[in-house]
């Protein structure tokens, strides 16, 4: 097994290019460890630790965006003043991820690249319409909409590509994060709903709703968003939006953690709750009651 600590994105790309499918990017490393059991297969692996790459670190304002380096951990997000101010939904999702030990190492980039349909951070970033900066040895760095990246299952990046940062558009908004688990903590969502909007009076604008655990990938509830546009936010609207999200947007599957029917029901309840909590408070988060 080979090990590298490149200092720059370009150096990392050369390594990813050189080792192709045998290259593994090490960020938080929480998922990677399982893939590296000793044996011949593992010996071919080139581990590329990207921690020294300053472009991939940090959380700062960049014009109309909050730029979050792919290496930002969930814990760093929850502690960061700018993130709390400009991306409160992402912070709420980060707070509900795993437990302390996981939050201290799990990164934004790792969460996205895992392609996990129940990823807390992916749902929040989807609701932000975040843009992702993807570098590649083959071409210029490109900016990709998070929705496009997350529209396929893992591996979501092509061989030789590196997720450098995500950019979250800054703007006044309300947000809510609703999550249900079997246990009351330290578990991935059965279903989570990340929502944000602007309220003008009680009229909804710029509504974004993302669903975790409601399909084979994290999803945008486009149908519910479209239906909500320009409507007054009240109980009836929220209920109907929940129904639309559950019926038209969710594509839940049955697995050993929950049945599709229950997941669909949770999409409806949690979407309704997320909308209603935005009407009463600018930012909120709830897990299991």
Q: Which residue in the set 100, 140, 158, 172 belongs to the binding site for other proteins (CB under 8 A)?
A: 100
33-54 b/e (C-beta count within 10 Å ≥ 16 → b): eeebeeeeeeeebbbbbbeebe
258 binds other proteins (CB under 8 A): yes
Considering the complex, what minimum distance in angstroms separates the CB of residue 188 from other proteins? 8
Q: Where does this chain touch other proteins (CB under 8 A) — which range of 99-107, 128-136, 148-156, 228-236?
A: 99-107
> How many Å apart are CA 115 and CA 110, to the nearest integer?
9
Interactions with other proteins, residue window 169-228 (CB under 8 A): 180, 182-187, 190
> How many Å apart are CA 130 and CA 225, to the nearest integer?
17
**By C-beta, is 222 or 269 nearer to other proteins?**
269
99 binds other proteins (CB under 8 A): yes
58 binds other proteins (CB under 8 A): no
Considering the complex, what minimum distance in angstroms separates the CB of residue 143 from other proteins? 29
Q: Where does this chain touch other proteins (CB under 8 A) — which range of 94-102, 192-200, 208-216, 277-285?
A: 94-102
User: Before 155, cis peptide (omega within 30)?
Assistant: yes
Considering the complex, what minimum distance in angstroms separates the CB of residue 93 from other proteins? 16
**By C-beta, is 105 or 144 nearer to other proteins?**
105
Residue whose tokens read 């979501």:
156
Which residues 6+ apart lie within 8 Å of 101 measured at CB?
none
**By C-beta, is 111 or 131 nearer to other proteins?**
111
Considering the complex, what minimum distance in angstroms separates the CB of residue 97 from other proteins? 11
How many residues make contact with other proteins (CB under 8 A)?
46
> How many Å apart are CA 195 and CA 247, to the nearest integer?
17
Q: Which residue in the set 72, 266, 276, 285 belongs to the binding site for other proteins (CB under 8 A)?
A: 266
- 233: Cα within 13 Å, side-chain hemisphere: 26
Which residues 6+ apart lie within 8 Å of 14 measured at CB?
6, 137
253 binds other proteins (CB under 8 A): no
Which residues 6+ apart lie within 8 Å of 289 measured at CB?
none
Q: Which residue in the set 7, 54, 85, 101 belongs to the binding site for other proteins (CB under 8 A)?
A: 101
Q: Which spans in the chain are helix H?
A: 9-19, 40-43, 74-79, 81-86, 88-95, 100-103, 108-114, 120-127, 146-149, 222-228, 235-244, 260-280
14 binds other proteins (CB under 8 A): no
**By C-beta, is 190 or 250 nearer to other proteins?**
190
**By C-beta, is 59 or 132 nearer to other proteins?**
59
Q: Which residue in the set 14, 18, 29, 239 belongs to the binding site for other proteins (CB under 8 A)?
A: 29
Considering the complex, what minimum distance in angstroms separates the CB of residue 39 from other proteins? 7
Specify whether the CB–CB gap between 89 and 127 falls below 8 A: yes
Task: Please give the span between the terminal C-alpha atoms of the chain, in angstroms, as a whole number.
Answer: 47
**Interaction site with other proteins (CB under 8 A):** 1-3, 26, 29-30, 32-34, 36-39, 42, 45, 47, 49, 51, 75, 98-102, 104-105, 180, 182-187, 190, 256-259, 261-262, 265-266, 269-270, 288-289
């Amino acid at each position: 097994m080979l090990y590298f600590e490149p200092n720059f994105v370009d150096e990392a790309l050369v390594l990813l290019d050189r080792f192709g499918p045998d290259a593994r990017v090490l960020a938080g490393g929480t998922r990677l460890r399982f893939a590296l059991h000793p044996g011949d297969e593992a010996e071919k692996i080139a581990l590329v630790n990207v921690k020294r790459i300053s472009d991939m670190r940090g959380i700062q304002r960049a014009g109309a965006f909050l730029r979050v380096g792919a290496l930002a951990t969930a814990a760093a997000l929850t502690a960061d003043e700018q993130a709390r101010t400009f991306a409160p939904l992402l912070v709420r999702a980060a707070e509900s991820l795993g437990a302390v030990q996981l939050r201290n190492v799990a990164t934004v980039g790792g969460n996205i690249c895992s392609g996990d349909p129940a990823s807390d951070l992916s749902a929040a970033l989807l609701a932000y319409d975040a843009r992702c900066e993807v570098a590649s040895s083959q071409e210029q760095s490109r900016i990709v909409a998070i929705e496009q990246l997350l529209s396929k299952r893992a591996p979501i990046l092509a061989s030789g590509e590196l997720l450098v940062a995500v950019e979250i558009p800054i703007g006044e908004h309300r947000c809510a994060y609703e999550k249900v688990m079997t246990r009351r903590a330290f578990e991935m969502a059965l279903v989570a709903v990340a929502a944000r909007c602007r309220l003008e009076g009680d009229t909804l604008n710029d509504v974004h709703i993302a669903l975790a655990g409601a399909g084979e990938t994290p999803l945008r509830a486009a149908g519910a968003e479209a239906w909500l546009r320009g409507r007054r936010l009240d109980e009836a609207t929220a209920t109907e939006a929940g129904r639309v999200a559950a019926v038209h947007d969710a594509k839940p599957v049955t697995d050993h953690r929950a049945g599709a029917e229950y997941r669909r029901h949770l999409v409806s309840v949690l979407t309704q709750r997320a909308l209603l909590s935005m009407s009463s408070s600018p930012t909120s988060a709830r897990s299991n009651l």
